[in-house]
Amino acid sequence: MKKKAKKKGPGKAKVGSRNKTRTKRGTRTMKKTVMALQYTPAFFQAEKAGQWYKPDIASALREGLEFGLNRRLKSAAHLMKEGIAHLMMMTDLQSDFRDEGRLAVKGTDEVVLRTCVRLINGTVEDFYTGLMFSLDGHPPYHTSFDYYWRDKDGHALNLSKLGGAAILNLVDEKKCVFEALAFGPQGPYSIGFYQARFDIKDSVEYWKYLQKTGQGPIWVFNSHCVIATDGVNLHPLLAETIAFICGARSLQPTIISKGHLANTDWFGPLEPCRPDTKHAQGGFQKGIIDTMKLFETVEFVGVAEDFCDYNMKRQTIKDLTGTPYLGKLRFITDGTAPIIPNAKHVVEQNDQARVAGVKFIDHDTPFAASV
């Protein structure tokens, strides 16, 4: 089923090297350990994974079109008719989650680099016929933002110097008051008491729903991925890579929007933490799962490993449990980065997934071995 890659125009990403990368947000050392590229597009430089720049989507797509013509590549639709059907799902690989983003997840830039290299090689090798990615996007006031919550004097919660994340636990249901707990070396510690800025009674109902459904406390973070800001954008190198592949294979990616309901968080792309029957996207997005079923394998990358990436996998596993489709899932182990490394819930889910038939691979696992 799988065809051999043509060998014209070989190139390599820098492998196993450490380079100081100059970014508009500072200089940092970035580790790059990636498999060799079978073809190096003109836009592609490994160093760009650590840089902040405006992607040239049109040029990348046009290069993909020419590459497809010169190599006589078949379209994604044509390959699927021949039985070649492999999808990559990318969760929240956006600017605000980058290493220097507004809600930084350390390691995201390296995840993007490995993802781009695998995508390009998979396009050369007649492997990928589908791309899917989620975009987190919030209104200016969102229940997961620190300043959505205020103390008794009206001052906003500010997590900018407290690690960027905290949890809220209900302590006074009548007055709708929550205790905020930040995280330090010795564990959670109290940073004060807060109410929601809007609809304080609904905030209590939201907390109760999370408890009832086993989702834990309310999480709050630095504001991030606000709709219409640059933080919502895909990582620029990934955006160019996707454009190149779309041109080369006449492929249209599936884009999943999430996070735009103000009164609930939305970690997993398939469903908000609290469903909203009044909103078109307020329930489980069954159509996304049905699309996945069209493919022989579905690979997963994304961030953060212990939040949105975890919940994307959890939602998919939950819906496919008991069906043969569960065996189609492929979790790329070096295709994610955590906020809290080796989180217990992530380790447990991965262990259960392996037993259930999910296959774990690396970004440089040969495509023949990934099937």
**HSE of 96, CA atoms in CB hemisphere, 13 A:** 21
Beta carbons of 194 and 157 less than 8 angstroms apart: yes
270-320: pLDDT as tens digits: 999 999 999 988 999 999 999 999 999 999 999 999 999 999 999 999 999
Q: Looking at the predicted structure, is the pLDDT value of residue 41 above 90?
A: yes
Read off the pLDDT of each residue in 46-66 and give the average, rounded to a whole number. Answer: 98
- pLDDT score recorded for residue 25: 60
Residues 199 and 84 in one domain: no
Q: Looking at the predicted structure, is the pLDDT value of residue 10 above 60?
A: no
Residues 151 and 132 in one domain: no
Q: Looking at the predicted structure, is the pLDDT value of residue 13 above 90?
A: no
Residues 183 and 272 in one domain: no
- pLDDT score recorded for residue 33: 73
Asked whether residue 60 is assigned to any structural domain, the reply reads yes
Read off the pLDDT of each residue in 206-230 and give the average, rounded to a whole number. Answer: 97
Residues 103 and 243 in one domain: yes
- The number of distinct structural domains making up the chain is 2
Find the domain containing 195 and state its range.
Answer: 146-221
135-194: pLDDT as tens digits: 999 999 999 999 999 999 999 999 999 999 999 999 999 999 999 999 999 999 999 999
Asked whether residue 9 is assigned to any structural domain, the reply reads no
- Exposure letters 145-158 (e unless 16+ CB within 10 A, then b): bbbbbeeeeeeebe
Q: Looking at the predicted structure, is the pLDDT value of residue 29 above 90?
A: no
Query: What is the chain's mean pLDDT, rounded?
Result: 93
Write down the H helix ranges in the chain: 57-71, 76-81, 108-124, 200-212, 236-249, 286-292, 308-320, 344-356, 367-370
Write down the H helix ranges in 133-285: 200-212, 236-249
Final residue of a structural domain among 200, 221, 242 = 221
Residues 236 and 336 in one domain: yes
For 324, other C-beta atoms within 10 Å of its C-beta total 9
Residues 122 and 252 in one domain: yes
Residues 56 and 105 in one domain: yes
Q: Looking at the predicted structure, is the pLDDT value of residue 27 above 50?
A: no
- pLDDT score recorded for residue 32: 54
Quote the CA–CA distance of 370 and 124 in Å, as a whole number. Answer: 16
184/15: higher pLDDT: 184
Q: Looking at the predicted structure, is the pLDDT value of residue 22 above 50?
A: no
112-137: pLDDT as tens digits: 999 999 999 999 999 999 999 999 99
For residue 133, give the CATH number of its domain: 3.40.50.850
Final residue of a structural domain among 196, 221, 246 = 221
Residues 349 and 254 in one domain: yes
Asked whether residue 3 is assigned to any structural domain, the reply reads no
Task: Name the burial class of residue 56, with classes exposed (0-12), middle (13-18) and buried (19+) by CB atoms within 10 angstroms of its CB.
Answer: middle
Read off the pLDDT of each residue in 35-60 and give the average, rounded to a whole number. Answer: 97
Contacts of 365 (CB under 8 A, 6+ apart): none
Asked whether residue 1 is assigned to any structural domain, the reply reads no
Asked whether residue 338 is assigned to any structural domain, the reply reads yes
Residues 153 and 250 in one domain: no
Asked whether residue 12 is assigned to any structural domain, the reply reads no
CA angle 106, 107, 113 (to 5 degrees): 150
Residues 245 and 205 in one domain: no
Q: How far is CA 288 from the centre of its chain?
A: 15
Q: Looking at the predicted structure, is the pLDDT value of residue 334 above 60?
A: yes
Residues 131 and 238 in one domain: yes
9/164: higher pLDDT: 164
Residues 37 and 73 in one domain: yes
CA distances from 91 to 19, 88, 204, 236, 276 (A): 27, 10, 29, 15, 22
Asked whether residue 216 is assigned to any structural domain, the reply reads yes
Asked whether residue 31 is assigned to any structural domain, the reply reads yes
Is cis: bond before 248, omega within 30 of 0? no
Final residue of a structural domain among 159, 189, 221 = 221
